Amino acid sequence: MSELPVSVRLALWVTAAYAGRVALPDALRTATGDLDLVGGRTERLQTWHDLGERAVLVALPHPGAPGLLPRGREVLAAAVEAGECVFVPGLGDALVPTLAQLGPVDAAPLDRIGSVRWAAYSGDPVPVHEVDALDLREVERGLGETLVTATATLEALDARSWPTDGLRELAEARLAGGRWGLPDGLTERARRVIARAATLGTVADLGLDQLRDAHSLEVTARRREELLRLRREGDHALAAATNVAALHLAGWRGPDRD
Tens digits of pLDDT across the chain (258 residues): 347 899 999 999 999 999 999 999 999 999 998 888 899 999 999 999 999 999 999 999 999 999 999 999 999 999 999 999 999 999 999 999 999 887 676 666 666 678 899 999 999 999 999 999 999 999 999 988 887 887 777 766 665 554 445 555 655 555 454 456 799 999 999 999 998 888 887 777 777 766 666 566 777 787 788 788 888 999 999 999 999 999 999 998 876 676
User: Is 161 in the same domain as 228?
Assistant: yes
Q: Let me know if residue 239 belongs to a domain.
A: yes
User: Is 19 in the same domain as 125?
Assistant: yes
DSSP 3-state of 164: helix
- Domains in the chain, number: 2
Among 115, 132, 149, where does a domain finish? 132
Q: Let me know if residue 198 belongs to a domain.
A: yes
pLDDT value of residue 89:
97
Range(s) of the domain holding residue 55: 6-132
Q: Let me know if residue 256 belongs to a domain.
A: no
pLDDT value of residue 217:
77
User: Is 59 in the same domain as 153?
Assistant: no
How does DSSP classify residue 178?
A: T
User: Is 140 in the same domain as 239?
Assistant: yes
pLDDT value of residue 44:
98
User: Is 70 in the same domain as 96?
Assistant: yes
Among 117, 132, 147, where does a domain finish? 132
Q: Let me know if residue 258 belongs to a domain.
A: no
**By the 8 A CB rule, do 85 and 79 touch?**
yes
User: Is 96 in the same domain as 113?
Assistant: yes
Q: Let me know if residue 257 belongs to a domain.
A: no
Among 132, 153, 169, where does a domain finish? 132
pLDDT value of residue 175:
47
Distance of alpha carbon 122 from alpha carbon 92, whole angstroms: 6
pLDDT value of residue 200:
80
Distance of alpha carbon 208 from alpha carbon 202, whole angstroms: 10
Q: Let me know if residue 93 belongs to a domain.
A: yes
Q: Let me know if residue 100 belongs to a domain.
A: yes
pLDDT value of residue 35:
87
Distance of alpha carbon 78 from alpha carbon 76, whole angstroms: 6
Query: Among 79, 93, 77, which Cα is nearest to 43's?
Result: 93
User: Is 73 in the same domain as 30?
Assistant: yes
Cα pseudo-dihedral 70, 247, 98, 40, rounded to 10: 90
